[in-house]
């Protein structure tokens, strides 16, 4: 693999860097840096700016609104976005359901949904996990029974990220209870304003309202909202999860997180000397950096394969496992570095934006909340234990 940057790539990097510097909203940047709760309009602000520029969906084919970037340009864009501390575009529309629609949906569905995903007019959430059917996704029980031109949907989904803001939800539903588990599932697009849908918040241990339960009670969904073929939803679900897992790796943002960790370790004193001078702590950072470097090369190979027309395969499981492991290890080292200032409840009110004086240095104010929030990364998108089983079966033949 040729990892050298051409003159065109260097020029592209400068273009991206300048665009972000001139267009990323200062008010949003201040909110992110202060750790304040984000409103729906905050999440959409940067999305809409990128959509106007034509940069919101770097991996999409040009015929559906993608920018036509090479794998190197996509890599550069992710690096520059992370370096500038931008808010990542929400993945549910652009990175998850969008590729399913442009790959498997009919032309009418593509024309209806893809432009609104790009523009941010439709906010999507994911209806996969259920109580008792998270890692064992094929065990889902939400049922869709066809009655004429509609499906009647009953059941529930859980851990539904930002469903409180969503306009649409893409759902895996059981349409054949007599078939084998994976063979009786369909992929359905559901308007969240449909009568019979209830969203109930789940407050996580970091004090945030990020995830929800979603209940369906006799919800009528037009048959025209079925993607692909009935009972073939498992195929589309696996395709979506491969894209999701690749995106979870978060290499560029982990590189920036390590940079911030080093800044904290330089500021924290142990027996009068910076923590970063400790050989033991430096060794911990070095170990994470080495693993991240290896992961970066794996991500670049995956991007190059996608540019050559090869969809993400088992590499996505590797990216997911190692990416989330690294993310969690970084947050653990931050907590270790700031010590008692990482107490989980000291800064909660300050994080929520209330007028309360933070305790201790600013570098410790969100350490505990971030640590707790990142515990989820090894579970969502298919737990890391499941990913190891996939690798063992498909690569090692075990």
**Stretch(es) of the chain classified as CATH 2.40.110.10:** 124-232
**Cα-based distances in Å from 241 to 128, 129, 200, 212, 312:** 10, 12, 25, 20, 10
C-alpha span between 212 and 219 (Å, rounded): 18
pLDDT band at 224 (very low <50, low <70, confident <90, very high): very high
**For helices 279-307 and 71-83, angle between their N-to-C axes, nearest 10 degrees:** 140
Range from 28-42, 46-60, 80-94 carrying the lowest mean pLDDT: 28-42
At 114-154, the pLDDT tens digits run: 999 999 999 999 999 999 776 667 789 999 999 999 999 99
Q: What is the pLDDT of residues 280-294, one digit of tens each?
A: 999 999 999 999 999
- Checking if the pLDDT of 396 tops 80, the result is no
Higher pLDDT, 149 or 346: 149
In the predicted structure, residue 348 carries a pLDDT above the cut 70? no
124-232: CATH class: mainly beta
pLDDT digits (tens, 9 = 90+) for 355-365: 444 556 667 77
- ∠ CA(87), CA(91), CA(93), 5° rounding? 125
Residue 352: per-residue pLDDT:
47
The string of pLDDT tens digits covering residues 103-114 is: 999 999 999 999
Residues of the chain with CATH 1.20.140.10: 249-394
Closest CA to 323 of 261, 237, 384, 389: 384
Tell me what pLDDT residue 21 has. 97
| pLDDT of 329 over the 80 cut | yes
Q: What is the mean pLDDT of residues 225-249?
A: 84
Closest C-alpha to 20, from 252, 319, 243: 252
**Structure confidence at residue 308 (pLDDT):** 61
Q: Where in the chain is the domain with CATH 1.10.540.10?
A: 7-89
In this predicted structure, the answer to whether residue 347 has a pLDDT above a threshold of 80 is no
pLDDT at 65: 96
Catalytic residues: 244
- Checking if the pLDDT of 245 tops 60, the result is no
> Which pLDDT score, from 0 to 100, does residue 350 have?
43
Q: Any idea of the CA torsion for 324, 327, 330, 336, to the nearest 10 degrees? A: -70
Residue 202: which pLDDT band, with cuts at 50, 70 and 90?
A: very high
Q: Identify the pLDDT of residue 312.
A: 59
Average pLDDT taken over every residue of the chain: 87
According to DSSP, the β-strands at 150-157 and 209-222 are antiparallel
**Alpha-carbon separation of residue 284 from 64, 330, 367 (angstroms):** 44, 10, 18
**The pair of three-digit structure tokens given for residue 129, joined into one six-digit string:** 């996990």
Tell me the per-residue pLDDT of 13-48, one tens digit each, with 9 for 90 and over: 999 999 999 999 999 999 988 777 889 999 999 999
For the chain, how are helix, strand and coil distributed in percent, rounded to 5?
55, 15, 30
Give me the pLDDT at residue 344, please: 60
pLDDT at 349: 47
Give yes or no for residue 68 having a pLDDT over 80. yes
Q: Which class would CATH give 249-394?
A: mainly alpha
The first and second tokens of residue 336, run together, are: 């270790």
Question: What value does the mean pLDDT take over residues 268-287?
Answer: 93
- 7-89, superfamily in CATH? Acyl-CoA dehydrogenase/oxidase, N-terminal domain (1.10.540.10)
Helix (H) or strand (E) holding 185: strand 185-191
Share of residues in the chain with pLDDT > 70 (%): 87
| pLDDT attached to residue 223 | 98
Q: What is the pLDDT of residue 215?
A: 98
pLDDT of 354 above 60: no
Query: Which pLDDT tens digit goes with each residue over 151-200?
Result: 999 999 999 999 999 999 999 999 999 988 788 999 999 999 999 999 99
Q: Is 182 left (phi over 0), alpha (psi -120 to 50) or beta?
A: alpha
Measure the CA–CA gap between 119 and 49, rounded to whole angstroms.
Answer: 9
């Amino acid at each position: 693999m040729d990892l050298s940057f051409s003159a065109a790539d260097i020029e592209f990097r400068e273009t991206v860097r300048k665009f972000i510097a001139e267009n990323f909203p200062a008010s949003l940047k201040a909110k992110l840096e202060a750790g304040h709760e984000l409103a729906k309009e905050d999440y959409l602000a940067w999305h809409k700016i990128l959509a106007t520029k034509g940069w919101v969906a770097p991996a999409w084919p040009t015929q559906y609104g993608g920018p036509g970037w090479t794998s190197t340009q996509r890599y550069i864009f992710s690096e520059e976005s992370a370096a500038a501390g931008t808010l990542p575009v929400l993945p549910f529309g652009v990175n998850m359901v969008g590729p399913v629609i442009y790959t498997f949906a009919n032309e009418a569905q593509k024309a209806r949904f893809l432009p609104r995903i790009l523009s941010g007019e439709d906010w999507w959430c994911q209806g996969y996990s259920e109580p008792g059917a998270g890692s064992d996704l094929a065990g889902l029980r939400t049922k869709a029974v066809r009655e004429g031109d509609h499906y009647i949907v009953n059941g529930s989904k859980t851990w539904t990220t930002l469903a409180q803001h969503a306009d649409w939800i893409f759902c895996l539903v059981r349409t054949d209870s007599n078939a084998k588990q994976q063979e009786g599932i369909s992929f359905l697009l559901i308007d969240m304003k449909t009568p019979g849908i209830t969203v109930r918040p789940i407050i996580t241990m970091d004090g945030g309202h990020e995830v929800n339960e979603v209940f369906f009670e006799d919800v009528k969904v037009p048959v025209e909202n079925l993607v692909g073929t009935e009972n073939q939803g498992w195929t589309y679900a696996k395709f979506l999860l491969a894209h999701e897992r690749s995106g979870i790796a978060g290499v560029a943002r982990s590189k920036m997180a390590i940079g911030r960790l080093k800044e904290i370790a330089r500021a924290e004193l142990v027996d009068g000397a910076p923590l970063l001078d400790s050989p033991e702590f430096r060794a911990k950072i070095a170990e994470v950096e080495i693993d991240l470097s290896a992961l970066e090369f794996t991500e670049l190979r995956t991007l190059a394969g996608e540019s050559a027309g090869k969809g993400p395969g088992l590499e996505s499981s590797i990216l997911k496992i190692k990416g989330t492991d690294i993310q969690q290890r970084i947050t653990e080292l931050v907590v270790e570095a700031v010590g008692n200032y990482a107490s989980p409840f000291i800064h909660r009110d300050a994080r929520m934006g209330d007028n309360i004086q933070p305790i201790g240095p600013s570098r410790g104010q969100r350490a505990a909340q971030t640590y707790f929030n990142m515990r989820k990364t090894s579970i969502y998108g298919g737990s890391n234990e499941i990913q190891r089983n996939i690798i063992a079966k498909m690569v090692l033949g075990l």
